Amino acid sequence: MAGLLKRDELMSIMIHFSNITKQFPGNKALDDVDFSVEKGEIHALLGENGAGKSTLLNILHGIYPDYDGEVEIDGSKVNFKNANDAIEYGIAKVHQEVNLVTELTVGQNIALGYEPAKKGLIDYEAMYEKTDGILEKLGCRFRSRDRVNSLSTGEMQMILIAKALFHNARIISFDEPTSALTDREVDRLLQLIMELKAQGITILYITHRLDEVYAIADRASILRDGKYICTLQIKETKKDELIRHMVGRDVSAYAVRNQELCSSEEVVLKVESLCKNGVFEDISFELHRGEILSFAGLVGSKRTDVMRAIFGADSYTSGSVYIHGKKAEIRTPKDALRYSLGLIPENRKTQGFVKNFNNAVNMALASMDRFCSRGFVNEKKILENCMYYTGEMNLHPADPEYLTEALSGGNAQKVIIAKWMTTDADIIIFDEPTKGIDVGAKAEIYRLMEELVARGKSIIMVSSELPEVIGMSDRVIVMREGRIMGELGRKELNEEIIMKFAMGG
Amino acid sequence: MKGFVKRFSRELEVVAALAVIMIVFGMIQPIYFSPSNLLDILDQSVINGLLAIGMTLVIITGGIDLTVGSTLAIVIVSVGNFTVMGLRPLPAVLAGVAIGFVLGLVNGVLVAKMRLQPFVATLGMMSVYRGVAYLITGGWPVLNIPQTFRDLMDGDVVGSLSSSMILFLAVTAVAYILLKHTKFGTYLYAIGSNEEATRLSGVNVDKNKILAYAVCGVTVALAAMVMLAKLGTGEPAAGASYETNAIAAAAIGGTSLAGGKGSIVGTFLGAILLQALKVGLVVCGVDTFWQYIATGLIIVFAVYVDVIQGKLAAMRLNKKAKA
């Protein structure tokens, strides 16, 4: 392929992946991937989870040194043995999970491993001077001598970008950089990426948020099941077309209600002046049978804290919770279960499922009493239960003994939803149910939610994704800094009005 | 068959290691293979084995119990006193079990309710319990344990199998069933693997953790009474530093000190392996000092095998996640 490129094309190409194949035992993560990234462009890398995007970046960054095919940077073949090789070559990464030494200063983190030295000792003056210069250029409000643990997630990400500039990076890859940021931070980050581009830096950008792709990217390359599908000019491509290439079939990834709304007058949950000192106050609302009630707001608006308090996972100062009209004393999640509540937590890995357990046991964990007879666990029943939901939910792979931690994000989320369906919970709280989940699986989660309300269950959804809030909700409550700012019916919903409440405008 | 191998892979590895050790010693010193020597190995594994089984339950929850040696001392002197004062053997055993249960309960409350780190909490109680054991006897050993008690806990039952060996096998079986086939066991693994997810699934985490320490106290009490029967005296200094051997047996058997992983059969085999090694070195006339070194190396090697397997598993997982 490379040989066929014309000379001037060669000159403008920054990264050329040529016939890259990466074989893991029994599985081809990348299969003959072949495309180029031009100098100074913002190039989005799209595909569902497991499509091979991260594997490709790991090859670029020297984390997987063994692969078939060739990587060319600026016309010369490279094969990095480790991440430091890549950094020294000017290839830096900014990833979703920020990995910093929080006890050190900003400057120490930026220069980590490459501190300027004088007579064998670290030359802190020189180091801080240099790193401060970079931070200033980035328009950061914090300085090199600040400690990292006093900064927000968005600010920590700035440190990673500063680190890239410290190493004079020519290429910076971003892997889901906005998933933990507030909307304001997202805007700033995207703007900054445009500035980096203006300085001639080539950007590779992985995200699940197509809006961001349209905001900044020049071109997008799409991977599916380890194979390269195509590269598209973003300006000439519709969203639907992008999604179709990603999933390879027509899936309405947009959150929409396909069935009739089915909310009734019956109040299943009533919360009255719930208050936790210094966190949230005066939270009052009602949830109806068959309703999807969403809690919208910016990150940090304390929606999760309210839900955890209702579920008994955290304590609260005052207020009361009524379930089916009766006052409920919920002090622990065990109590919540007795009142037929379920919680699908924000963080699947740390709060949702048990790492060493397979799907069958994870689904049964909240209903062990039902799966025990005469004190002994009935494994057959647990397997049957799992087989049932595996079929219902189209879980992949359909193996009850598969470890949940080895599943993709969407499938792991299905296992957690199945756990609460197994308890036959009446009221299920979904906290950021589609965070980090690929488009195809998102649509499936939405269908599951619809099915639940159609069966007379009631759902509270905490979500920071506005299309999801607008598309899925019967009603929306908007929170800001621990208080309810407003309530909107389905007909009144649009992005502007929600943002107005959320930002206190 | 394939499922069996997969399910018991760690246990089979320990069996293989045990076989290698025994064959090597047997070749150097054929007497090693004599039935009486093999029974000796089992017999001498009982005390450490019982401690290690309790320890395994606690470690699976992500904790540790450093008090096992001191708990053993309290039980050995109190039950010793009871029998010398004329309490009949069976009630004495029940009293011993109750004491072990309560001492374990205290550890559990410190860890689960007061949220102390298990290592530090039990390190403190290790010293407290040792002091209590000395106070009970004023520092003197309890002598002349009645023969009836000694026969109950360590007498011949069938052929050359003693009651203590049968007790060990029975406790192993019960603990295995408890861990693999009951709600309690499932919860212990869940807690050790992801305490928050388990709590959010409506499990009473504190109660199950406390129970794990209490059950550990019970197996320690049984070990104490076997020791009392074997020796015929109860020393308040008994069991000092026994916690290390118990942890070693669990670690060799594949129990992860990080919690969430472990097996009773593995621990049982680990205890046997440690003893087989010790006896082998003695039979071959190797200096005692070398025993320490050999034991230590076995532990380090066993944990290293875990690390390697963890890496392989992570690679497989990686592959699955990408599939």
Query: Is the minimum CB–CB distance between A374 and chain B shorter than 8 Å?
Result: no
- CA–CA distance, B306 with B260 (Å, rounded to integer): 14
- Residue B1: pLDDT band by 50, 70, 90 thresholds? low
Q: What percent of chain A has pLDDT over 70?
A: 94
Min Cα distance A334 → chain B (Å) is: 4
Contact at 8 Å (CB) between B75 and B220?
A: yes
CB contact under 8 A, A351 and B187: no
Contact at 8 Å (CB) between A278 and A302?
A: no
**A315 and A242 housed in the same domain:** no
Q: What is the mean pLDDT of residues A337-355?
A: 94
What residues of B are in contact with residue A50 (Cβ under 8 Å)?
321-323
A450: in domain: no
What are the boundaries of each domain within chain B? Answer: 43-289
- Provide CB contacts within 8 A for B153, sequence distance 6+: B89, B93, B163, B164, B167, B225, B226, B228, B229
Boundary (domain end) residue, out of A202, A223, A247: A247
> The tokens of B202 are what?
């409506």
Q: What is the pLDDT of residue A225?
A: 79
Closest residue in chain B to residue A313, using alpha carbons only: B200
CB-nearest to B182 from A332, A355, A377 is A377
Q: What is the pLDDT of residue B253?
A: 94
Min Cα distance B129 → chain A (Å) is: 33
Q: What is the pLDDT of residue A3?
A: 44
A350: in domain: no
> The tokens of A145 are what?
């001598």
What residues of B are in contact with residue A226 (Cβ under 8 Å)?
322
- Residue B118: pLDDT band by 50, 70, 90 thresholds? very high
Q: Which amino acid is at A23?
A: Q
- CA–CA distance, A457 with A434 (Å, rounded to integer): 19
B contact set with A (CB within 8 A): 177, 181-183, 185-187, 189-190, 193-194, 196-204, 260-261, 315-323
User: Cα–Cα distances in Å, from B306 out to B258, B292, B302?
Assistant: 12, 22, 7
A81: in domain: yes
Q: Does the structure show a pLDDT above 70 at A254?
A: no
- CA–CA distance, A76 with A65 (Å, rounded to integer): 17
Q: What is the pLDDT of residue B158?
A: 82
Residue A305 belongs to domain spanning: 262-340+426-443+457-505
Element holding B246 (H helix, E strand): helix B242-252
Q: What letter does residue A350 receive in the DSSP assignment?
A: I
CB contact under 8 A, B319 and A372: no
Taking phi over 0 as left and psi of -120 to 50 as alpha, with beta for the rest, A224 belongs to beta
CA angle A321, A323, A328 (to 5 degrees): 50
Q: What is the pLDDT of residue B242?
A: 95
Q: What letter does residue A199 receive in the DSSP assignment?
A: T
Boundary (domain end) residue, out of A180, A215, A247: A247
Q: What is the pLDDT of residue B141?
A: 96
**A413 and A432 housed in the same domain:** no
Q: At which residue do the structure tokens 């699908």 appear?
A: A344
Query: Is the minimum CB–CB distance between A52 and chain B shorter than 8 Å?
Result: yes
Q: Does the structure show a pLDDT above 50 at B120?
A: yes
Q: At which residue do the structure tokens 């030359």 appear?
A: A123
Q: Does the structure show a pLDDT above 70 at B322?
A: no
- CA–CA distance, B210 with B105 (Å, rounded to integer): 6
CB contact under 8 A, B322 and A336: no
**A402 and A491 housed in the same domain:** no
Min Cα distance A370 → chain B (Å) is: 10
On whether the pTM is more than 0.90, the answer is no
Which ipTM score applies to this complex?
Answer: 0.87
Nearest C-alpha neighbor of A282 from the set A505, A480, A65: A480
Q: What is the pLDDT of residue B115?
A: 94
CB-nearest to B190 from A332, A354, A379 is A354
Helix (H, G, I), strand (E, B) or coil at A475: strand
CB contact under 8 A, A376 and B199: no
Q: Does the structure show a pLDDT above 80 at A96?
A: no
Min Cα distance B307 → chain A (Å) is: 16
Query: Is the minimum CB–CB distance between A410 and chain B shorter than 8 Å?
Result: no
pLDDT, chain A, mean: 89
Pick the residue with more confidence: A421 or A178? A421
Q: What is the pLDDT of residue A184?
A: 82
pLDDT tens track for A109-119: 999 888 888 88
- CA–CA distance, B38 with A489 (Å, rounded to integer): 78
DSSP B38-105: HHHHHHHHHHHHHHHHHHHHHHHTT---TTHHHHHHHHHHHHHHHHHTT--HHHHHHHHHHHHHHHHH
Q: What is the pLDDT of residue B317?
A: 62
Element holding A316 (H helix, E strand): none
pLDDT tens track for A406-454: 888 889 999 999 999 999 999 999 999 988 787 788 889 999 999 999 9
Range B32-37 contact pairs with CB under 8 angstroms and sequence separation of 24 or more: B32/B279, B32/B280, B32/B283, B32/B284, B35/B160, B36/B160, B37/B279, B37/B283
Contact at 8 Å (CB) between A177 and A94?
A: yes
CB contact under 8 A, A354 and B318: no
Min Cα distance B22 → chain A (Å) is: 33
Q: At which residue do the structure tokens 């940021």 appear?
A: A181
Contact at 8 Å (CB) between B108 and B206?
A: no
**A26-35, A371-380, A480-489, B95-104: which range is least confident on average?**
A26-35
pLDDT, chain B, mean: 93
Name the burial class of residue B108, with classes exposed (0-12), middle (13-18) and buried (19+) by CB atoms within 10 angstroms of its CB: buried
Q: Does the structure show a pLDDT above 80 at A299?
A: no
- Residue B272: pLDDT band by 50, 70, 90 thresholds? very high
**A370 and A236 housed in the same domain:** no
- Provide CB contacts within 8 A for A464, sequence distance 6+: A296, A297, A298, A299, A432
Q: What letter does residue A240 receive in the DSSP assignment?
A: H
Closest residue in chain A to residue B207, using alpha carbons only: A334
Element holding A420 (H helix, E strand): helix A409-422
What residues of A are in contact with residue B197 (Cβ under 8 Å)?
345, 350-354, 365
Q: What is the pLDDT of residue A49?
A: 63
A345: in domain: no
Q: What is the mean pLDDT of residues B108-135?
A: 97
Number of domains observed in the structure of chain A: 3
CA angle A32, A36, A38 (to 5 degrees): 170
Query: Is the minimum CB–CB distance between A353 and chain B shorter than 8 Å?
Result: yes
**A417 and A437 housed in the same domain:** no
Query: Is the minimum CB–CB distance between A375 and chain B shorter than 8 Å?
Result: yes
CATH class of B43-289: mainly alpha
Contact at 8 Å (CB) between A122 and A98?
A: no
CB-nearest to B260 from A336, A355, A369 is A355
Q: Which amino acid is at B6?
A: K
Helix (H, G, I), strand (E, B) or coil at B191: helix
**A203 and A63 housed in the same domain:** yes
Contact at 8 Å (CB) between B154 and B226?
A: yes
- Residue A209: pLDDT band by 50, 70, 90 thresholds? confident
**A257-261, A453-457, A488-492, B35-39: which range is least confident on average?**
A257-261
Nearest C-alpha neighbor of A413 from the set A438, A433, A440, A393: A433
Nearest C-alpha neighbor of A161 from the set A197, A113, A120, A211: A197
Nearest C-alpha neighbor of A47 from the set A210, A171, A174: A210
Q: What letter does residue A225 receive in the DSSP assignment?
A: T
- Provide CB contacts within 8 A for A200, sequence distance 6+: A39, A40
Query: Is the minimum CB–CB distance between A357 and chain B shorter than 8 Å?
Result: yes
- Provide CB contacts within 8 A for A228, sequence distance 6+: A32, A33, A34, A35, A221, A222
pLDDT tens track for A154-177: 888 889 899 999 999 999 999 888
Closest residue in chain A to residue B313, using alpha carbons only: A406
Q: What is the mean pLDDT of residues A21-39?
A: 85
- CA–CA distance, B235 with B267 (Å, rounded to integer): 27
Q: What letter does residue B141 receive in the DSSP assignment?
A: P
